[in-house]
Chain A
């Protein structure tokens, strides 16, 4: 753990990743403290200061109804991250349990679970989310539901593949010979050996969830106004390019920073934890 942290911080690229991730997370947590206009996260209208280029105190300019873009980006981060954490905290356990069960128990359980997983994997994620959102109402809750539904199979795949190879290891045989039940073997013996891969994937995915939620919002299916969302901010601002460039550029940069940061850290973790095994 200490060693992992040390390596993360000693490589310039992963250090940059750690800094970007820390920045995003701090912005999200302290959005209401940092934001110069916390109330602008909601439905506020200021017809005096609307569509203004970057200037003090609105360092990233204001949007078409006069709300501070910097404040809205901070709150958008908060919502994206909460969304990402909620999605992963459902998708990861579901995907992991299914992957472990399919990989270790084998037989018809494996067959059924993996065919189900393949069905979900064969539908492009955005299409699946869009169809779920199309049937249900485009609320935040349904958005999370949609993203979760398309996310767990990836964890099933990863964990299934590791489990398939780990179950051939001597320590699994040793536990079975002692008389340990399947729950012990799956969760106490095999799962610890999947943790590095899961942690790595979760880090990468926090970036991707932000991207997917932004894409859905861009298409008008995700987070609904007036709740700030980076994707919808880019979508609305795009119509006023290039004159009102600040409407688009800053939210887009915000997406870039978050996704880039999580990717750098995830890639570094993959190398560090992979080499440890």
Chain B
């Protein structure tokens, strides 16, 4: 059953230097409960796709539908509640001058979730779900590690029970071991809450471990879309082949870490 569908979506930006075609005629269906990875080099239009799904700006052409209904250019609060975001950099995605509680509470307040008096308990249970103690609520982001901050950002993204979560390189600012734990948390949450993920990354090892299907982007165009296993076994498009062979060679230390990380994912 299709949850999200992009139909012939195009995005043009006009800049002083001329028009930029950031996303070029992309059609993509994401099923409920699925995790679709979006991969591609920097500048290939991944974040632009994410921003259009989130309703930060509308497509120049084409449309985005959710559960069969086309989303308008101006999203209502109900529309906003359908899709949430986890960003790359947890340093900037949490306001340095507001407490963790204030950042989490915003989602509950805006969507009026739970009675006012119940919200502190609700926030504590959200933190518990991402593996953080309730005592973190009173802290400022500066007092948390990168991994902890990213967990808070994940708690915020699931706070209003959105069925769809867009993750824009959610682990690439974290070091390898922390990456593994955060990925595992994301996998668990997806299974437990039946979430649908649009998972943007340039890390193919991550793709292999989280994605059901992979969408490969090159210069704003969707050049290949295949099940993860199939894509790695037999990449069809030359660009995909180059992408897979361009995976950086790891040092011994890094590959040890990688192995442990794979194990911890399968554990």
Binding site for B on A (CB under 8 A): 169-171, 173-180, 184, 188-189, 192-193, 195, 277
Binding site for A on B (CB under 8 A): 54-56, 75, 77, 80-81, 83-85, 87, 89, 92-98, 103, 106-107, 110-111, 153, 156, 160
Q: Which residue of A lies closest to B87 (CB)?
A: A170
User: Closest Cβ of chain B: how far from A119's Cβ, in Å?
Assistant: 26
Out of A173, A175, A176, A277, which one reaches B96, CB within 8 Å? A277
| Chain B residues with CB under 8 A of A195 | 97
Out of A170, A175, A176, A188, which one reaches B92, CB within 8 Å? A170
Q: How far is the CA of A273 from the CA of B217 in the complex (A)?
A: 44
Q: Which residue of A lies closest to B142 (CB)?
A: A276
Task: Evaluate contact between A193 and B106: CB separation under 8 angstroms.
Answer: no
Task: Evaluate contact between B98 and A192: CB separation under 8 angstroms.
Answer: yes
| Chain A residues with CB under 8 A of B160 | 178
Task: Evaluate contact between B93 and A174: CB separation under 8 angstroms.
Answer: yes
16 new A-B contacts, CB < 8 A, other than A169-B95, A177-B55, are A170-B87, A171-B96, A173-B87, A174-B93, A176-B56, A177-B80, A177-B83, A177-B85, A178-B84, A178-B111, A179-B75, A184-B106, A192-B95, A193-B95, A193-B97, A277-B96
Out of A179, A180, A189, A277, which one reaches B98, CB within 8 Å? A189
| Chain A residues with CB under 8 A of B54 | 177
| Chain B residues with CB under 8 A of A180 | 106, 110
User: Closest Cβ of chain A: how far from B107's Cβ, in Å?
Assistant: 5
Contact A174:B85 (CB < 8 A) given known A169-B92, A179-B80, A192-B97: yes
User: Closest Cβ of chain A: how far from B113's Cβ, in Å?
Assistant: 11
Q: Which residue of A lies closest to B93 (CB)?
A: A170
Q: How far is the CA of A176 from the CA of B77 in the complex (A)?
A: 11
| Chain A residues with CB under 8 A of B153 | 174
Q: How far is the CA of A171 from the CA of B93 in the complex (A)?
A: 4
Closest 7 CB pairs of A and B: A170-B93, A179-B80, A170-B92, A192-B97, A171-B95, A177-B85, A170-B87
